[in-house]
Amino acid sequence: MTLPAAAALAAAPADGPSCYSRLTNEWICRQYVEDFRPEIQHATVEHLQITALAVLLGLVIAFPLALVARRFTRLESTVVGLATAIYTIPSLALLPLMVPFTGLSKTTVVIALALYALTILVRAILEGLRGVPDEVVESARGLGYGATRLLVRVEVPLAIPVIMAGLRVATVSTVALTTIGSLVAYGGLGNLIKDGVNSNFRAELFTASVLCVVLAVVLDVVIVAAQRLLTPWSRGVRA
């Protein structure tokens, strides 16, 4: 923030109408939102960007890993175990470990969150592909579908519901985990939450926390809508 929370509280008039001042420190404060709108918007946009980039990178890494695990069954336990092991590393340890290589940057947070998402995405993609009926696969092969065409035209579309379910969980989880980026000054709304906690600025803490929840809900709705668009046949079945 251009004006630190502690300084804002100190500078606010004690006898004014403000819901944040030297004598007033309310949780819900519309005036705070109006006065600090640029900072709140910047933090929200940054939070959304980091989340989207992390989930996208996670998908790019998870998809080939899931294909390898399905193709080479001996490697499945290794791939899944590695993805799960990464998730067990505390964020307070993972980010500092990456700083020497990626610096105090947004890249550090994106990579860390993408690695955390692997444990969910790899399993979801693997289970989705395995859930494709064998008779459908055999029919496609009988029609002359090669491995690549079979994967793109048959297996992936039929696996979308399961993959999307995993994507929803990974996205909502990433929205929450993005706040840890405040350790390297790139936490989006996490920066406001951290600042609000350190300075006991209730309006800042409450507003940032609510926006995190709103972002998670909005992104979840967007993914559900995307799934419906990608699987029109499922709507017909329910109808």
What are the tens digits of pLDDT across the range 170-209?
999 999 999 988 888 888 999 999 988 888 888 899 999 9
pTM: 0.86
Closest CA to 69 of 147, 129, 151, 113: 129
The pLDDT value recorded for residue 2 is: 44
The pLDDT value recorded for residue 17 is: 55
The pLDDT value recorded for residue 214 is: 95
The pLDDT value recorded for residue 9 is: 58
Instruction: Count up the domains in the chain and report the number.
Output: 1
List pLDDT tens digits, range 68-96: 998 888 888 899 899 889 888 888 888 88
142 part of a folded domain = yes
131 part of a folded domain = yes
List pLDDT tens digits, range 14-33: 555 578 777 788 888 888 89
22 part of a folded domain = no
Per DSSP, the residues of the chain read --S-HHHHHHHS-TTSS-SBSSS-B-SS-HHHHHHTHHHHHHHHHHHHHHHHHHHHHHHHHHHHHHHHHHH-HHHHHHHHHHHHHHHTS-HHHHHHHHHHHH-SSHHHHHHHHHHHHHHHHHHHHHHHHHTS-HHHHHHHHHTT--HHHHIIIIIHHHHHHHHHHHHHHHHHHHHHHGGGGGGGT--THHHHHHHHHHHT-HHHHHHHHHHHHHHHHHHHHHHHHHHHHH-HHHHHHH-
The pLDDT value recorded for residue 8 is: 59
81 part of a folded domain = yes
Is the pLDDT reported for residue 1 higher than 50?
no
Mean pLDDT of 204-223: 94
Write the CATH number for 85: 1.10.3720.10
Q: Which domain holds residue 103?
A: 46-232
Is the pLDDT reported for residue 239 higher than 50?
no
34 part of a folded domain = no
220 part of a folded domain = yes
Mean pLDDT of 2-8: 54
List pLDDT tens digits, range 30-66: 888 988 999 999 999 999 999 999 999 999 999 999 9
User: What percentage of the chain exceeds 70 in pLDDT?
Assistant: 90
The pLDDT value recorded for residue 4 is: 57
13 part of a folded domain = no
